[in-house]
Amino acid sequence: MALDYFQVDAFSDRPFAGNSAIVYRLDAWLPDAQMQRIANEHNLAETAFIVAQAGGWRIRWFTPLTEVPLCGHATLAAAHVLRTVGGVTEGTLLFDSASGPLPVTYDEGRLWLEMSVDPLQEEGVSLTVQRALGIDVVDVLAGSDLLVVLESEDAVRYCRPDMNAVAQLGWPGVTITARGAQCDFVSRCFAPG
């Protein structure tokens, strides 16, 4: 079976930068195990599979190891593929996902993704988190993933986590964040598991 796919560098205006994602536009779903093998073969952070449905698109994301419930950059990549090579011209594309509806709006040359809010609770700073990240931590909040607040944009940029230790924290993903110097905030996400 031959399938067309597209590699998109999200969050960038040039090749080989930003966050890469693979996008497959399918006529019908492949078996889960086959989609997982395809994602493993590509070996990028995410491979998105989309199928048209009434009122929009169904989207699923696979890492090389597992299916995940949400991926922002691969959703934007899928919207880009639909607009640039898929002939879709609607101002807003609606993706149905395991995490609920994800509208992506095209406005003045940009794609805007609206994601649902993940309620956070205070987790508290721990030595285990600080050691895993190898950096001082200001605050730790927990939702579906762990959100770790750092002191500065530079702290986020230069953080070099111990990925084995991050995987042992017990969360699907760990996001580090801080106020940005020329933007509201900066962040990096790690999901070694």
User: Dihedral, CA atoms, 67, 71, 74, 75, nearest 10 degrees?
Assistant: 110
Q: What are phi and psi of 177, to 5 degrees?
A: -150, 160
> CA-to-CA distance for 51 and 57, rounded, in angstroms?
6
Instruction: Dump pLDDT digits (tens) for 134-144.
Output: 999 999 999 98
Instruction: Dump pLDDT digits (tens) for 68-103.
Output: 999 999 999 999 999 999 989 889 999 999 999 999
- Please state, rounded to an integer, the average pLDDT across all residues of the chain: 94
Q: Which of 113, 147, 182 is the last residue of a domain?
A: 113
Q: Do 144 and 68 reside in the same domain of the chain?
A: no
- Confirm whether 1 is domain-assigned: no
Q: Are the C-beta atoms of residues 168 and 132 closer than 8 Å to each other?
A: yes
Residue with tokens 């009434």: 54
Question: Would you please indicate which residues are annotated as catalytic (active-site) residues?
Answer: 46
pLDDT band for position 64 (cuts 50, 70, 90): very high
pLDDT for res 168: 95
pLDDT band for position 116 (cuts 50, 70, 90): confident
Predicted TM-score of the model (pTM): 0.80
Radius of gyration of the chain (CA): 18
pLDDT for res 50: 98
pLDDT for res 117: 84
CATH number at residue 83: 3.10.310.10
Domain count for the chain: 2
**pLDDT higher than 90, residue 108:** no
Q: Do 127 and 52 reside in the same domain of the chain?
A: no
Instruction: Dump pLDDT digits (tens) for 3-56.
Output: 999 999 998 888 888 899 999 999 999 999 999 999 999 999 999 999 999 999
